[in-house]
Structures are given as structure tokens and as C-alpha cells.
Structure 1
Amino acid sequence: MTVPALLTGVVPPVCTPLTPDREVDVRSLTRLVDHLVEGGVHGLFVLGSSSEAAYLTDAHRRLVVSTVVSHVGGQLPVLAGAIDMTTPRVLDHIAYVTAAGADAVVVTAPFYTRTHPAEIARHFRVLAARSPAPLFAYDLPMSVHTKLSPELILELAADGSLAGLKDSSGDLAAFRSVVIGARTHPAITGFSVLTGSELVVDSALALGADGVVPGLANVDPEGYVRLYRHARNGDLGRARAEQERLCALFAMVGVGDPGRMGASSAGLGAFKAALHLRGVIDCPLTAEPQVPLSEAEIERVGKHLATAGLL
């Protein structure tokens, strides 16, 4: 399946289930895909932050994208992250994810090296010129330490280098600038503006976002699909109520003890624990060196699920 001219809807960033010895659990991964498709989502994004792409070997990344593309069988568009430090390394990832059948690729600015804005623009243009599939920018300043400016995003959209943006910056003002520019710029058509937030989806949709890419949608895809539908139908009261329910559920990412683990371990560990408790995946482990949740912390995740009506 190809990506629509304008990608819209709920596009979960798919978690990567692992076995107890930290190999990709293909059986659990296909069950997770079924869980998301049955939940009514509109697309899938693999090999992003919620997929733990930074922790996976290249062989694991290849296995994830080939498994998901094959299992989906064209029912939904599959976007694949091609995330690495520099342009040549990203091109290598683009080659195998598109060979596996990914419908679009998602890339960040370069990182580790210090880059000038002109070099960041060149990075995206080189990738776009050589990618067989449409290119989405991933604005992730917390991890890559570069904020993609609205001006740069719109410039790359206008010259055809970018097909869309996944914005995980948390900067709603900048996000709004991109939404307005994508709507009003005479050279931009079919440019998808997606928010990566779990907590302000209703606000982002009200600002004009085309879709949402929330990690919590792994756990409750139906909830985000309802939220998206209410917002699109103009039922702001029901959208707000659904968003507030999801905000309460998202509190599960805080069960991990910050004295012994980082936010990634706590957040991804909570998502995986929830999926395990819901019977979707076999093992809740995250990739090393992340620290696993304790039994008591997993029990607290279960209480959040029960409160949300998911157990």
C-alpha cells in the first residue's frame, strides 16, 4: 500500500516486543500489529523511539520492518524509521526499509556531530533525492539536540523534499506555524502534519493537525481512534473527555523509580508491561541497558489499566 497523498488519522509508533534473551519476538510483534489493526488505526510507524530503534541492531531493525510489512499485507501504510547519525548511514537504512516494502521513511536531523542549519537542510534534500519512498521529518529535539524550525520544514515541504512531519518537540506554537504554513503556502500540497504527543492530541487536532502518532496508542488504540473521530466530527466535549481519560492512563509512565531508571526505561517499560498484562505480548522486557520494571511497578501499571477499563 502506498501512503495517501495526505496521511491522516492515528498512526501508532509500534513497540518492539523482545524475548527474555532480548531477541525480537516475532510472534508477539504480529499479535501487536493485529491488536492495532483491530483497534481501527490508520497506519503504523515502526523503528521510531517507541520501537526502541536506538537500541536495536541493524539485523533486529530489518526483522522488525520486514515482519510488520509482511504481516500487514497492504491493509495499512507502514512508515519506517531510518534514524542514524549521518547522511550515509541513514541512506543505508533507507535502502533496506524500502526494499522490505515500507511505504514511507521517517528521519531525524543528523546528530552526534555538530551541524549547521544549512547542513541539516542538505541532509534532508540528499535523502529525499535518493529515497524510493516519501520522506517524513521527525522533529525530536530531546534526543537529537536539534529543533527543526518551522521555516526549514516549510522550505523542504515547498521544494518537494518532505511529504510530512512527525512533531515530537512539544512546541505547540512552532507546530501551529507549520500547520498554517502547510495550509497557506502556494507551493505546498498534500503535506501531512502529525503530532507525536499523547497528552495534547485534542489540542493539536483543533490546531489543524492531520494525524497523531502517540506511543500510548500501543496500549489503547481504540481510545485514540475515538479521540480522533470525536475531534474530526467537531464533538469537542467528547474529545476532551477521551483525552482526559488517556492522560490519566498515561500516568503509568511514572510508576518506575527515578532513583534507579531513566525516563525511557520507565515509559517504554510501562507500555510493554501494559501490553503484557493485556495479553498482547509475551514478555515486557525493554532493550539493554534499560532497566526493567519491578513486579510491584508492573502491578501499579495494572491498576492504571483497570481504572481505564482495559483489564
Structure 2
Amino acid sequence: MTATGTDPLRPLRGVVPPLCTPLTETGDVDTAGLRALVGHVLSAGVHGVFALGSSGETAFLTDAQRHTALTTVVEAVGGRVPVLAGVVDMTTPRVLEHARAAVAAGADALVATAPFYAATHPMEIADHFRRVRDGAGGAPLFAYDIPSAVHTKLPAATVLALAEEGTLAGLKDSSGADGPMRRLLTELRRRGLDSSFAVLTGSELAVDGALLAGAHGVVPGLGNVDPHGYVRLHAHAVAGRWREAAAEQDRLAQLFAIVDAGADSTPMGPSSSALGAFKTALRLRGVIGCAATAPPQVPLDDTAVAVVRQRLAAAGLLR
């Protein structure tokens, strides 16, 4: 709660970077690097942070590493902005364990996907979110729509029902489906839910359009690298300076090309390439000391690192 008694999570607005999880060469969580990263994004004026999301490599971390990362973030933030904690796992009981641990660690809100591994019906998905929220003591819960990882697109009808009954506080939309998100925003406004339910886009490349359509904010992985750029973009949009917002978005879109640097030079998956690029950029900017990613992801080679360096320089992010 803020000093005025208002709830910053109803609805959550602004720029909420999904924090990378810096690792040491031996695979431990680099707590000093993570604290430095928190300071880096907070200095830009972000409105919240999201620990243990996809950019945080949560699927690759052990439970002990998740705990270390989250407690480090909570302590480093020190109550200055809300801390959202990813509680992503395959089934409801496993998600509930993560959710209770996150609440105990001091997270302000939780972020969960639909269950995965086994196919689920929309009724089962709705029941999953209700059980997670109730089982975690009623902590604010955000749905994470990421069909590329979960293999299920969250149905709009399910999201709307859970928003209307208060089970969900918001949605992080990483589906890449702009049309369905626009229709969801329209329906939320029609039902008078847009003032209590947050829709945050996970797209780094279409933030200006999403904000113009009525989205409340953005959760950009590239916001680890250039949080100031996304904060400027959001400020322009809030003030109605759409020409300036578009120009900032264009600059960030060019910078986002770093995510392809690894895959263009070495056989690797898109996660290795994107997360390796984010961490390499953070190392080159002097925020963290090591760009290691969790196995089995493949590190960037020298050619890819050189591309990241060039893109950072072109964006004006290297001294």
C-alpha cells in the first residue's frame, strides 16, 4: 500500500521489467549482480519489477535458486516498488508450493501461467487460478499468457470471468496476438473493469500501440538492458506525445535485434540467443560481471558478442 492508502497493484501501471537472474560461472545466483540489476532498473524510474519470469530463467532454476533470487530482489527493492514473483510450474500443487514460498519471501504479487504438460480445459484453468490465489492467502495474482511455452492461449472468456470475480488482478500478455488483446481491453472497458484489472503487454516491439489501445503497462525483457528507454516511452504515451513515443519505440525495436545475435552465428535455441544477449548487454554496460546462462542453454560466441556491442553502441548505451 502507498502512503495515500491506494493500492498500486489495482491496476498496476507502467514499466515492470522481468528481471534477468545473473549467474556465476559455477551456476550459482550472483546476488551482487542481481542487486546491481535492481538498482539499475530502479534508477530509471520503473514502476515495478517481475522476478522469476521467462527472462529470469525461472524454468531453468532449482527451487533453492528461485528462493535466493527472489529474496535478493525483495531485499534490494526495499518496498520502493511492487515486486511480482513468478510461480510458474506444471501443475496446481507445484504452483501452490512456489506461491506460498513467494509470499513468505515478501513478494507483493504472484504471476502464474495455466497448467501445462497435460492439456487442460478452460474450466480447469479457471479452477487452477482460483486455487492458487486462495491457497496463497489471497495475494494479488496475475495470469501469464505465454502460449509459446505453455501451449495454451488463455481464453478471453476465462480471463474476463476471473477478473470480474476478483480472482485475477491482471494479465501479462506475451501471446503476441495483438487483435485478441485489443478485444479484451475493449471488453474490460465495457464492463467497467479497466480501473481495477491491469493488462500488461509482454511485447518489446509494440508498446506504443498497446498503450494507445488502453494497455496499462509493459513487461519488457529488453527493459533489463535499457529501462530508461521504456520509461521514456511510457511517459510520452501517458502525456499523449505519440510521435515521441513512436520514435522511442523505433529505437528500442532496432536495439531488440540483439536477441538474434546468437542464433545467427551458432546453433542454439531462441531462449539461449535472447537471454544470452540480454545478459551480455548487461555485462558490457557494466551492470553485471558474468553473462552465463543456465544449462542446457548455449553461451554466445565472440561473433555474437561483437554484434551485441555494436547494437548497444548504435543505441547510445555504451560509454
State whether TM-score is above 0.5. Answer: yes
Equivalent residue number for residue 99 of structure 2? 94
Q: 1:203 to 1:21 in 2, by over 3 A?
A: same
2:317 counterpart residue number: 310
Q: Secondary structure at 1:106's aligned position in 2?
A: strand
Aligned residues of 2:122 and 2:155 also touching (Cα < 8 A) = no
Deviation (angstroms), 1:195: 0.3
**Counterpart residue type for residue 74 of structure 1:** G
2:277 is aligned with 1:267: no
**Code of the aligned partner of 1:169:** S
CA–CA distance in structure 1, aligned partners of residues 188 and 84 of structure 2? 21
1:3 CA displacement: 4.2
Q: Equivalences for 1:84-233 in 2 at 5 Å? A: 84-132=89-137, 133-186=139-192, 189-233=195-239
Distance 1:189 1:207 in 2: 15
Shift of 1:127: 1.2
Equivalence map 1:259-298=2 (5 Å): 260-298=267-305
Q: Secondary structure at the match of 1:257?
A: helix
Q: 4+ residue stretches of structure 1 with deviation over 4 A?
A: 186-189
Q: In structure 2, the residue corresponding to 1:255 is in which secondary structure? A: helix
> Does structure 1 conserve the Cα–Cα contact (< 8 Å) formed by 2:50 and 2:84?
yes
Report the equivalent of 1:63.
68
Structure 2 CA distance, aligned partners of 1:99 and 1:182? 32
**Distance change >3 Å, CA 189–CA 206, structure 1 → 2:** closer
Give 1:131 shift.
2.1
Cα contact 1:3–1:103 (8 A) shared by 2: no
Pick the aligned partner of 1:52 from 57, 70, 74: 57
> 1:9 and 2:17 equivalent?
no
Partner of 1:79, secondary structure, is strand
Q: Which residue of 2 aligns with 1:41?
A: 46
8 Å contact 1:277–1:302 — kept in the other structure? yes
Shift of residue 160, structure 1, vs aligned partner: 0.9
- Superposed displacement of residue 257, structure 1: 3.1
Deviations 1:201-245 (A, max 9, x none): 000001000010000000000000000011111111100000000
1:250 corresponds to: 256
**Structure 1 stretches lacking a partner, 5+ long:** none
Give the Cα–Cα distance (whole angstroms) in 1 for the partners of residues 105 and 187 of structure 2.
33
8 Å contact kept, 2:263–2:270: no
The one-letter code sitting in structure 2 at the alignment partner of 1:45 is F
Amino acid at match of 1:243: Q
TM-superposed CA distance for 1:310, in Å, is: 0.2
Cα offset, 1:187, TM superposition: 6.3
Question: Is the 8 Å Cα contact of residues 3 and 104 (structure 1) preserved in structure 2?
Answer: no
Instruction: Assess if the C-alpha contact under 8 Å between 1:158 and 1:188 holds in 2.
Output: no
SS of equivalent to 1:279: coil
User: What is the CA deviation profile of residues 100-130 of structure 1, one whole-angstrom value per residue up to 9, with x for unaligned ones?
Assistant: 1000000000000121111111111111222
- State the SS of the aligned residue for 2:142: strand
Residues 19 and 283, structure 1, Cα contact 8 Å, conserved in 2: yes
Query: Is the Cα contact below 8 Å between 1:149 and 1:174 reproduced in 2?
Result: no
| Counterpart-to-counterpart distance in 2, 1:45 and 1:66 | 13
Moved more, 200-209 or 258-267: 258-267
**1:80 match: secondary structure:** strand
| RMSD over aligned Cα atoms | 1.2
Question: 2:307 maps to which residue?
Answer: 300
Q: Secondary structure at the match of 2:257?
A: helix
Unaligned runs of 5+ in 2: 2-6
Q: Which residue of 2 aligns with 1:27?
A: 32
Contact map agreement 1:205 1:231 (CA 8 A) in 2: yes
TM-score (norm 1): 0.98
Find the aligned partners of 1:204 and 1:103 in 2 and give their Cα distance: 25
- The total of aligned residue pairs comes to 311
Answer yes or no: is the 8 Å Cα contact 2:112–2:144 preserved in 1: yes
CA-to-aligned-CA distance 1:5-42 (integer Å, 9 cap, x gap): 21100000000000001110000000000000001100
The answer as to whether partners of 1:286 and 1:292 remain within 8 angstroms in 2 is: yes
Query: Do the aligned partners of 2:52 and 2:85 also contact (CA within 8 Å) in 1?
Result: yes
Match of 2:81 in 1: 76
Aligned counterparts of 1:187 and 1:291: Cα–Cα separation in 2: 43
Residues 188 and 128 (structure 1), Cα distance of their counterparts in 2 relative to 1, 3 Å cut: farther
